[in-house]
Amino acid sequence: MKIEQLLLQGSGQFIEDRLVVRSRQRLFGVFDGASSLVPQLYQQRSGAWWAAELAWQTFCQQPDDTLLDLARQANQDIAHHMTRFAIDRRNPLHCWSTSAAVFRLLPNHLEWLQCGDCLILAIDRQGQAELLTPYSNHDAETFSQWTAQPDETLPQILQRLRPTIERVRLGMNRDYGVLNGDTAAEAFFCQGRITLDNIQHILAFSDGLLPPLARQGAMPDFSQLTRLYLQGGLEGLGQWVRFVEGRDPHCHRYPRFKCHDDVAALAISL
């Protein structure tokens, strides 16, 4: 078994993605934190940093537990720490949150759990890919209204779209799932199990690794992502994504909330 890891900081002040690699327990995964819409630091770290960090700690410290138990515990830990910092957990705009995509390798199978927009992709020995986890783009409504004027800056775009961004955020664990301390998140835990027969690579990644061209469509081009990975590994794929984003620094052509998002990705080759 070969393990490849990629963790890249984006344009933000902190890296708010995390990787879990526990080879002995054959437990792997990624987390993608999101801050509240009330900008504030807690012990000099953002809410997104805390959400991803707490989920990562739970999975690292209790790797023998089931994926479901670990996800529940991570969600509870986020709730506990928000209460510790006197955050109004009843208001989704104030809550920290993180997406998650985790899996465990068994002798002949793979079991996985996902919540949010992190993904797991399996590639067979013929180079064909299958997305194991459901794909959801809860920011599609915001991006559909993104059309920027030539001289409009990214802060101006975000200010103009603030009502839509807030409306989408209020849909956490009602329209889409995230770990944000709310027990309603458990209804959005997606789980599955597949045989490892004919599987050669398993990828888990945050949405920062998605090719920018795909983000505007109803469904990303996972065949393109697979081809780029098979050609250059995670490092090559990550460099290509950063190159394309760098050609659109003001986010006019490819709607996104910052020039470069954080990236957390891992690949297991069997």
The pLDDT tens digits of the residues spanning 94-139 come to 999 999 999 999 999 999 999 999 999 999 999 999 999 999 888 8
Would you state the structure tokens that stand for residue 10, as one six-digit string? 């984006």
Cα–Cα nearest to 113, from 70, 60, 173: 70
| Tens-level pLDDT at each residue, the chain (270 residues) | 999 999 999 998 999 999 999 999 999 999 999 988 988 899 999 999 999 999 999 999 988 899 999 999 999 999 999 999 999 999 999 999 999 999 999 999 999 999 999 999 999 999 999 999 999 888 888 988 888 788 889 999 999 999 999 999 999 999 999 999 999 999 999 999 999 999 999 999 999 999 886 455 567 889 999 999 999 999 999 999 999 999 999 998 889 999 999 999 999 999
Q: Name beta bridge partners: 82.
A: none
First to last CA, the chain: 5
Which tokens is 215 given?
A: 């983000």
**3-state SS string over the chain?**
CEEEEEEECCCCCCCCEEEEEECCCCEEEEEEEECCCCCCEECCEEHHHHHHHHHHHHHHHCCCCCHHHHHHHHHHHHHHHHHHCCCCCCCHHHCCEEEEEEEEECCCEEEEEEECCCEEEEEECCCCEEECCCCCCCCHHHHHCCCCCCCCCHHHHHHHCHHHHHHHHCCECCCECCECCCHHHHHHCEEEEEECCCEEEEEEECHHHCCHHHHHCCCCCHHHHHHHHHHHHHHHHHHHHHHHHHCCCCCCCCCCCCCCCCEEEEEEEC
Place of tokens 């835990």: 189
218: its two tokens: 């109803």
Provide the whole-model pTM. 0.95
| Residue 251 CB contacts under 8 Å (≥ 6 apart), including other chains | 148, 154, 157, 257, 258, 259
Residues making up the chain, counted from first to last: 270
- List Cβ neighbours of 162 (8 Å cut-off, separation of 6 or more): none
Q: Give the tens place of pLDDT for each residue, 68-86.
A: 999 999 999 999 999 999 9
Tens of pLDDT, residues 240-251: 999 999 999 999
